[in-house]
Structure formats: structure tokens, C-alpha cells
């Protein structure tokens, strides 16, 4: 069994959060599952970095913005690997580049063109959890690129496809996909199952829970997506056929 787990920023907001998320990954690894963990930047790091860049320059080049923003996910990846090691689970972190993620050169909204998961594969075969920085890749020329806001979901699904993982589980701060925003509508209903196309149209209409490109990629590669809360045991929502 091979699984990709993705943790969003709110699931990684503090050292305690990182350890909790690491514990979820470790529990699966201890049962014999090969685990890849994809991480977002911690908490509101990306927003704060954008504000910081605006304070430095009014005319920010997209290339430099991507070079800068990639660092948020890289920090999370190294911290997650350290947390796993602290829990006595072998782990190794990778940038998007090291994970073999190649994109086009559309800075700020790059699309993944290919994934060469050799190093991830080797880490898994050596019994390690592979931790990958989400949201990033490199273009043909070797420039750092980012996949657009929320793009770590897409990294997770692209890796799941390249590694023939059975499941891609998206851990987040809501306990699944709802028919309406549960924060605004108290009687919103959670889907237990939802099909790719319905999920895709919700994501395109602005449902924040999943990056639209991630749903497309899951549909095209028939990857089962599970959207779950990091903080409760609720079964969440399965996105599939
Ligand atoms: N950190 C990036 C963002 O805030 C990517 C992600 O979280 O998926 O948009
Ligand atoms: Mg997200």
C-alpha cells in the first residue's frame, strides 16, 4: 500500500501541529504503508511573504516572487522530516525540484508537465517517509516556479499519479467537502462521496477546499482523493468516480 498525504498550512501552524501531523503519517508508516507527505507553508506564511515582498518592491518580477515563495514550503518540508525523525521514523525531505517536478515557465501559475519520482521511489524503498515541498517545481531552464495559490494539493495528486499510489489524502482544517460553506451556513451538508466532475465545478466556482487543477489531475489519473480533518477522526469526503 502506498499513500500520499498532504497537509495544508493550518495543519502545520506550530511545532505542536507539525508533530501531530507527523504522528498521523508515522501511524500509517508503522502499519507498513509507504508514505509520501506533501506539505504547504506553515499557517499564513505565504500571505506574510507576499506582504513582505510588496514592502520591498512595487514592481515585483514573478520569477523572483516564485523564488521567494518556494521557501515557505521548503521550510515546512525540512521541519516535517525533523519531526518524523524525532518520532523515530526515518524520513527525508525534498524540494519540488529534488522530487522531479517539472513545470512550464508560467511563473505564479505554472502547470506540472512531468514528474520523475526516482528519488522519492528510492526513499520509499529504503523504508523512509518522503516529505515533499508542495506548490513548486522547476521549468526547463531550472528556474523555480509555483503552481498558483493552493497548489500543494496539485503536487500531492501529481506525485500520487507518478508513484501509482492507491490514495491521495488531503488533510485540512474542515472535515470534508460540503454542499455550501459550512462556516457561513450552519445547516450545510457534508458529502460522504462526490464525483470528480461535481467537485471540479465546485472548485472552479471558488470552493477553497481543493485546488481545481488537483481535481482534474485526480480525475484524469483515477486517483481516489480523500478530504479529511487533521484534527478529528471524522471519515471525511471521498472524491472519485
Ligand atoms: N502555500 C501556498 C498558498 O498559500 C500553497 C498551498 O498552500 O497549497 O497558496
Ligand atoms: Mg488549500
Backbone angles phi, psi at 17, to 5 degrees: -60, -45
Distance in angstroms between the alpha carbons of the first and the last residue of the chain:
20
Sheet holding 167-172, edge to edge: 91-94, 129-133, 34-39, 2-7, 167-172, 224-229, 237-240, 193-195
Q: What is the CATH number of domain 2-240?
A: 3.40.1160.10
Q: Is the pLDDT of residue 12 over 90?
A: yes
* Ligand 1: nearest atom to the Cα of 211: 8
Residue 163's pLDDT is 98
- Transcribe 145-187 into DSSP letters: EE--TTTHHHHHHHHHHHTT-SEEEEEESSSS-BSS-TTT-TT
Residue 181's pLDDT is 85
Q: Are 140 and 111 in contact (CB under 8 A)?
A: no
Strands (E), the chain: 2-7, 34-39, 91-94, 101-103, 112-115, 129-133, 136-138, 144-146, 167-172, 193-195, 224-229, 237-240
Q: Among all ligands shown, which has an atom nearest to the Cα of 72? A: 1
Beta bridge partners of 2: 34
Q: Which of 73, 154, 209, 214 to mutate to test the pocket of ligand 1 (most atoms within 8 A of CB)?
A: 73
Nearest CA residue ID for atom 5, ligand 1: 150
Residue 206's pLDDT is 83
Q: Which of 159, 174, 164 is nearest to 209 (CA)?
A: 174
Residue 64's pLDDT is 98
Share of the chain above pLDDT 70, in %: 100
Q: Where are the domains of the chain?
A: 2-240
**pLDDT (tens digit, 9 = 90+) per residue, 118-137?**
999 999 999 999 999 999 99
* Ligand 1: nearest atom to the Cα of 73: 1
Lining ligand 1 with CB less than 6 A are 8-9, 40-41, 46, 72, 134-135, 149-152
- If pLDDT is split at 50, 70 and 90, which confidence band does 183 have? confident
Give CA torsion, residues 138, 109, 74, 126, to 10 deg. -60
Nearest CA residue ID for atom 6, ligand 1: 150
> Average model confidence (pLDDT) for the chain?
96
Q: Are 189 and 196 in contact (CB under 8 A)?
A: no
The Cβ of residue 163 has, within 10 Å, a number of other Cβ atoms equal to 20
Amino acid at each position: 500500500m502506498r499513500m500520499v498525504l498532504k497537509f495544508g498550512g493550518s495543519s502545520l501552524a506550530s511545532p505542536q501541529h507539525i508533530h501531530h501531523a507527523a504522528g498521523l503519517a508515522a501511524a500509517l508508516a508503522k502499519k507498513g504503508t509507504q508514505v509520501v507527505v506533501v506539505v504547504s507553508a506553515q499557517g499564513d506564511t505565504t500571505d506574510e511573504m507576499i506582504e513582505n515582498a510588496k514592502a520591498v518592491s512595487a514592481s515585483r518580477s514573478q520569477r523572483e516572487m516564485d523564488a521567494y515563495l518556494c521557501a515557505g514550503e521548503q521550510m515546512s518540508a525540512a521541519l516535517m522530516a525533523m519531526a518524523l525523525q524525532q518520532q523515530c521514523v526515518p524520513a527525508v525531505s525534498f524540494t519540488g525540484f529534488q522530487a522531479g517536478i517539472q513545470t512550464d515557465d508560467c511563473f505564479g501559475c505554472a502547470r506540472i508537465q512531468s514528474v520523475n519520482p526516482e528519488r522519492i521511489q528510492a526513499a520509499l524503498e529504503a523504508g523512509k517517509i518522503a516529505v515533499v515541498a508542495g506548490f513548486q517545481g522547476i521549468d526547463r531552464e531550472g528556474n523555480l516556479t509555483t503552481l498558483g495559490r493552493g497548489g500543494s494539493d496539485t503536487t500531492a495528486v501529481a506525485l500520487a499519479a507518478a508513484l501509482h499510489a492507491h490514495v491521495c489524502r488531503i488533510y485540512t482544517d474542515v472535515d470534508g467537502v460540503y454542499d455550501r460553506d459550512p462556516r457561513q451556513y450552519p445547516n450545510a451538508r457534508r458529502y460522504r462521496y462526490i464525483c470528480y466532475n461535481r467537485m471540479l465545478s465546485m472548485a472552479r466556482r471558488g470552493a477553497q477546499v481543493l485546488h481545481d487543477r488537483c481535481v482534474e489531475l485526480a480525475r484524469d489519473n483515477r486517483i481516489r482523493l480523500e478530504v479529511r480533518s487533521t484534527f478529528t477522526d471524522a471519515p471525511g469526503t471521498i472524491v472519485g468516480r
